Amino acid sequence: MSGYGSTVATNPREAADWSTGRVIRSNLRAVAGRAYPRVIGLTREPSWLFFEIFLPFLAVSAFVFVYRALEAPEAFVGFVVLGGAMTSFWLNVVWMMAAQFYWEKDQGNLELYFTAPMHLMSVLAGMAIGGLVMTSSRALAVIGIGSLLYGVTYDIQQPFLLAGVFLLTMIPLYGMGMLFASLFLLWGREAFHLAQLLQEPIYFLGGVNFPLRAIGPIAGVVIATLPLGVGLDAMRQLAFAGSGVQGVLPVGVEMLILAVMGVVFIVAARLALGYLEHLARREGRLTLRWQ
Amino acid sequence: MPDELAIEARAVTRVYKAKPNPVTALGGVDLAVEPGEYFGLLGPNGAGKTTLIKILTTLLLPTSGTAKIAGFDVVHETSKIRRVINMVAGGEQSGYGLLTLREQLWMFSQFYGLPQRDGWRRVDELIEITGLTEQRDQKVRTLSTGQRQKLNFARGLLNDPWVLFLDEPTLGLDVAAARDLREHTLSWKAAAPGRTLLLTTHYMVEAEQLCDRIAIVDRGKILALGTPDELRRRVQAESIFRLELDRLPQNGGIAGIGALPGVLSAVRADEEIADGAGSDRVALKVALDSDSALTSVVTAVAERGSHLVGLAKSEPSLEDVFVELVGRGFGDEDGAGGTS
């Protein structure tokens, strides 16, 4: 009894004595476990086809028509389509990462996460990886449909670098979501409003529907703080290399910024989570459904 | 099993910040639960039962005092404690509605670190044990309350915990579902020695049926602790029996029985005879200083020409014990502070 895996314990003290390897394996399993509902949700909730592809696509289309009416460079159409795809990730980070702990608390899951023998970072990592897989399919659908419908021509000279920048963008973006998950819970009960508060400003400041360079000096500040803006600017430079439209900073510099942001957000998420757990245990709130 | 207690609490207090005044949910609780013991915390809403469970399951810090699970301190050794415990709460809505019952259990098995293959095997085993085979591929959101609670119970057993905490596990369940769950709990105990259960409930029958020992809790304090029999004896020192006889005893009658050694009193209680049981039947209520005096009573009845047709021991309920200790019933008020 109480034996699973490689250890068969005969008493609780023995059962609690896990090797470092077992701790690591258990946490990796927890990541997979938490990612599972997100990935499986793709096939269980087909309504996402409407809400997360069709509706965002209307906004993309509006900008495409505006740019064409203004006779803007044709690359701008591609910028908007790419921005529309990246919007899916931002929405996923805000609604399915940042606000998630709040909802998990309401369902009673947070209590169970706390009492399970895993680190809460594994839960966040599982949410992030599951969300990334789920959202990638949506983003690809936006790019595919948008490119076909509006005849976007890509000029990708360094495909591996483009893929690398995409992955490098995802780390700080989801790291920010992991950080916000704890902060939303700490700040208050209105995760819904906090998520809404963040949504539109980031659309603007992230340059989702226009090249970041167009907003002038502010762009520099944006670049330094928002992974979505930095990543999108770098990806546009690499996806439309021959368009003549310049990014805010060279791709190499933007990659460096993304890497630093990735470390900062994930370390901050880890610290915030530790503080959250401490506060939850000390104050008797946050994890308890009735409070 | 090593010598450590399964659950140990020493002078545990918990005060919640609240306006206008802080609320004391636990006011110095001492508890010692042996490995393999089924222990119940019985008390009304707001008694502090859930607060104590939260502390023991590492969700809350005690304001003062110490608590240990299998010798591990709840403040400093949380990781080790979390590897040997599990918790199931009544009305729990955990998990994700879009998953099937089987997928949901598997997901939680991963949180407890079970290897994938072992996880699926354990999940299927528990689905069968808890009688959820027909619902195994049903989405969680479509399950009934009773099925949902069985699922929660199965989740609580995924890691085969050494110490299981059940917090009002049958809350909101119908009679049949509650009985099922209690039977599963007893089966779990019978399956292997050394498993410890801490149950909180405000259902007397549940505490009595499941627990070896019970602590009666109110307003953050343990008022009495013992086996159900010990608790009952606190409010009723004598043994009271109800005897149903085919006719009234002769040769001194009831007074003669009342005068026997060890008999404290003997009175008629005919109002308790069922309708249509026979017009000559009589019922006696005898109070004895101990159960052993019953033999002489039964002999005396026979000597006086009556035949015994029914015998029952009359015992106070745990609610009687609670009323005696607290001065009010379970439903009379919610207790202090509203923090349970």
Q: Looking at beta carbons, which residues of chain A come within 8 Å of B81?
A: 16
Query: Is A34 an interface residue toward B (CB < 8 Å)?
Result: yes
Suggest the residue from B4, B57, B59 to mutate for an interface test with chain A (most A CBs closer than 10 A).
B59
Question: Which residue does chain B place closest to A41, by CA atoms?
Answer: B98
Question: Which residue does chain B place closest to A15, by CA atoms?
Answer: B84
Note the pLDDT of residue A8.
Answer: 61
Please answer yes or no on whether A115 and B58 come within 8 Å at the CB atom.
Answer: yes
HSE at residue A182, side-chain half, CA atoms within 13 A, is 25
CB B302 within 8 A of CB B219: no
CB A284 within 8 A of CB A193: no
Euclidean distance between CA atoms B129 and A143, whole angstroms = 49
Euclidean distance between CA atoms A124 and A97, whole angstroms = 8
Distances (CA, A) of A144 to A149, A229, B237: 8, 22, 83
Query: Is A32 an interface residue toward B (CB < 8 Å)?
Result: yes
pLDDT digits (tens, 9 = 90+) for A214-251: 777 777 777 767 898 899 999 999 999 887 778 888 99
pLDDT digits (tens, 9 = 90+) for B101-136: 999 999 999 999 999 888 999 999 999 988 899 999
Cβ pairs bridging A and B (under 8 Å) = 151
Q: Looking at beta carbons, which residues of chain A come within 8 Å of B69?
A: 12
Indicate the residue of A11, A33, A281 with minimum beta-carbon distance to B59: A281
Please answer yes or no on whether A114 and B106 come within 8 Å at the CB atom.
Answer: no
- Write the DSSP string, A147-182: HHHHT---B-S-HHHHHHHHHHHHHHHHHHHHHHHH
Question: Which residue does chain B place closest to A118, by CA atoms?
Answer: B111
What is the least distance, in Å, from the CA of A175 to any CA of chain B?
A: 21
In chain A, residues 172-201 whose CB comes closer than 8 Å to chain B: none
Cα three-residue angle B183-B139-A137, rounded to 5 degrees: 145
Euclidean distance between CA atoms B123 and A134, whole angstroms = 26
In chain A, residues 228-247 whose CB comes closer than 8 Å to chain B: none
Spell out the per-residue pLDDT of chain B, length 340, in tens.
Answer: 456 899 999 999 999 888 888 889 999 999 999 999 999 999 888 889 989 999 999 999 999 999 999 999 999 999 999 999 999 988 788 889 899 999 999 999 999 999 988 899 999 999 998 889 999 999 999 999 889 999 999 999 999 999 999 998 888 788 888 888 888 888 888 887 889 999 998 788 888 889 999 999 999 999 999 998 888 877 777 788 888 988 888 877 788 888 889 888 888 877 656 665 566 788 888 888 888 889 999 998 888 888 888 888 877 777 778 777 777 666 654 433 333 3
Please answer yes or no on whether A108 and B80 come within 8 Å at the CB atom.
Answer: no
> Residue A8, class by beta-carbon neighbours within 10 Å (0-12 exposed, 13-18 middle, 19+ buried)?
exposed
What is the least distance, in Å, from the CA of B9 to any CA of chain A?
A: 17
Distances (CA, A) of B28 to B38, B52, B53, B216: 22, 11, 14, 14
Query: Is A24 an interface residue toward B (CB < 8 Å)?
Result: no
Q: Looking at beta carbons, which residues of chain A come within 8 Å of B160?
A: 1-4
B238 phi-psi bin (left φ>0, alpha ψ -120 to 50, beta other)? beta
Q: Looking at beta carbons, which residues of chain A come within 8 Å of B103?
A: 36-37, 40
Question: Which residue does chain B place closest to A46, by CA atoms?
Answer: B98
pLDDT digits (tens, 9 = 90+) for B156-202: 999 999 999 999 888 878 888 888 888 888 888 888 788 999 999 87
| DSSP H helices in A92-119 | 100-107, 109-115
